[in-house]
Structure 1
Amino acid sequence: MTAPTADLRKPYITPYAEETVELPLTFVHVAGVDWLTYRDTLPGEFMFGVLWARCGNRQDGTVLWSMVHTLRQRRCMLKGLCRVCGRPAADPETGRLWWVLASPPPTDGAAPWPTVSPPTCREHIAEALTACPHLRHGSPFVCTVSDYTPIGVLANLYGHDDDGRLVETRHQMAIGLDDIHLLPRALATQLLVSLRDIRPEAV
C-alpha cells in the first residue's frame, strides 16, 4: 500500500515499524480451558475477557500507513478520541461524535452499525480522508452518532499444530465479546463497536 503524497500529520492510530514488539505467546490451562496468554503477562493485557496484542509507543520512525496501532485504536474507541489527532471527537455544541465510515451503512441510520474505525473530529475529517488508505479507496460516509457500544474484537486465533507448536489458525477474524468458545484462543488487535443513531453530515 502506498503512502499519501501530501505532507500530512501521521494519524494517531497509525503505527510505526519501531513499535513492533515480540509477542511471547503461550497457552495456560485454567478450569478446563486453554487460554492464550503471554509468558510474562502484564496487568491490563486482558480486557473484555480477551488477550490484547502488545505494541510499543514510540511514535517515531518508519510509518506503517496501512496498519493500525492496537492500543491507540482501543483508546480512541473507549474514550471517543479522534483517529487523527487523538483528542476528543465530540462536537462541542451537540455532544454528538463525528465519524467517517468507509461506506454508507445500508440502513436509515436507526439500526446499530458495527465498525472498527475510531471517531474523527470534524477538524480532521478531510485529513483522514486523505491519509487513511481504507477511506481513500472506499466510498466515505461522514456522520455523527449519539452513542456506541463495544460488541467485539478483530483478532487472530491461535492453536497447536500436529507437533504441539503454537500457530496462528485464523487472521483478523471478528469475534463477539460474548463468544466464550473463541475468546480464550484470540489475540485482539482492534476493538469493534456498534454505532447508534447515525446521521449523515455535510462538512
Structure 2
Amino acid sequence: MATQLRKPYVTPYAEDNLDLPPAFEWADGSRQLTYHDALPQKWMFGALWAHCGTARKGKIQWHLVHTLRQRRCMLKQRCRVCGEPATDPDTGRVPWIMPSEPAGGLRSTMTTAHPPTCKAHIGEALATCPHLRREPPVVCTVGDSFPIAVLANVYGEDDGGRLVETAHQVPIGLDEFHLLGRVLATQLIVCVEDLRPEPLTAGLNLLLP
C-alpha cells in the first residue's frame, strides 16, 4: 500500500492567497511600500512582506510557496514538510536538499530559498515538491545558516504616480537599503555554511508507486 503523503508545511492553499494591493506612503522622510493600515509585523529586515492567510483551506497550490511559513522555516531551521525543527539531534546538523548540484559541486557556503528538511521527511519532500524534481537534487547537511537576502518584487511609480512593478521575483540583499523600502518580499534567502553531501536514502520508499 502506498504511503499517504502529507501536504507540505510551506505549500499554500487557495484561501491563503490574500491579494492586498500595496501602495507608497511617506515614512521617515522617504517613500516606503506599505499596505493600508499595515501592522508593524508586516515588515522584517526593512522590507514589506507579502500578506497571506494561515487557514490552510481550499485547493493546494503545489507550485507556490507560503511566504510566512517559508520565512519561519528559514529563520528557525524548521522542516519544509512537517514544520518541526529540522536539526538532527544525533549530529546537531541540519539536513538540506539543494534542487540541483551547482557547477563545480557543493561549496563550503551557498545561498538558497529552499527551506531545510528533517531527516524523516526527505523522501516526502522529494516526492511532493515540484522544484526538487526539475533536476537531480543533492541531499546534504549544513552546520549553520543565516539570512542574507529576500526574493521580492520591486516597485516604483510612473509619471502619473501610479504603482508599477519594475522587477519580478529578484534577489535583494539585506544590505541594499536603497531598495528594501520599495520591495514586496515573498521568500527569505539564507546562506548555508559547512555543507556536506549525504547518501540519498532516508525515506525513499515514499517515492515508490
Tell whether the structures are fold-level matches, with TM greater than 0.5. Answer: yes
The separation in 2 between residues aligned to 1:79 and 1:24, in whole angstroms, is: 29
Amino acid aligned to 1:73: Q
CA shift at 1:165, angstroms? 1.1
Structure 1, residues 106-135: CA drift from partner, whole Å, max 9, x if none?
A: 456453200000000111111111100000
Moved more, 162-171 or 8-17: 162-171
The separation in 2 between residues aligned to 1:167 and 1:56, in whole angstroms, is: 24
Contact 1:12 1:83 in 2 (8 A): yes
2:13 equivalent in structure 1: 16
Moved more, 36-45 or 107-116: 107-116
Cα RMSD of the aligned pairs, angstroms, is 1.5
Structure 1, residues 66-87: CA drift from partner, whole Å, max 9, x if none?
A: 0000000000011110000101
The separation in 1 between residues aligned to 2:28 and 2:82, in whole angstroms, is: 43
CA shift at 1:161, angstroms? 2.2
1:146 equivalent in structure 2: 143
2:121 equivalent in structure 1: 124
Moved more, 184-193 or 165-174: 165-174
Task: After TM superposition, list the pairs within 5 Å mapping 1:35-46 onto structure 2.
Answer: 35-46=32-43
Gaps of 5+ in 2: 202-209
Contact 1:156 1:187 in 2 (8 A): yes
Task: After TM superposition, list the pairs within 5 Å mapping 1:164-183 onto structure 2.
Answer: 164-183=161-180
Is residue 47 of structure 1 aligned with residue 49 of structure 2?
no
CA shift at 1:100, angstroms? 0.4
1:67 equivalent in structure 2: 64
The separation in 1 between residues aligned to 2:106 and 2:129, in whole angstroms, is: 24
1:185 equivalent in structure 2: 182
2:31 equivalent in structure 1: 34
Contact 1:13 1:73 in 2 (8 A): yes
2:207 equivalent in structure 1: none
The separation in 2 between residues aligned to 1:190 and 1:120, in whole angstroms, is: 17
The separation in 1 between residues aligned to 2:155 and 2:5, in whole angstroms, is: 37
Contact 1:90 1:96 in 2 (8 A): yes
Structure 1, residues 52-79: CA drift from partner, whole Å, max 9, x if none?
A: 1110001121000000000000000111
2:206 equivalent in structure 1: none
Structure 1 stretches of 4+ with a deviation exceeding 4 A read 107-110
The separation in 2 between residues aligned to 1:78 and 1:60, in whole angstroms, is: 25
The separation in 2 between residues aligned to 1:40 and 1:109, in whole angstroms, is: 44
Partner-residue secondary structure (3-state), 1:71: helix
Task: After TM superposition, list the pairs within 5 Å mapping 1:69-84 onto structure 2.
Answer: 69-84=66-81
Moved more, 66-75 or 101-110: 101-110
Percent of paired sites with the same residue = 58
1:200 equivalent in structure 2: 197
Count how many residue pairs are aligned between Structure 1 and Structure 2. 198
Contact 1:105 1:113 in 2 (8 A): no
Amino acid aligned to 1:38: Y
1:135 equivalent in structure 2: 132
The separation in 2 between residues aligned to 1:108 and 1:135, in whole angstroms, is: 17
Partner-residue secondary structure (3-state), 1:72: helix
- TM-score (structure 1 length as normaliser): 0.93
Amino acid aligned to 1:23: L
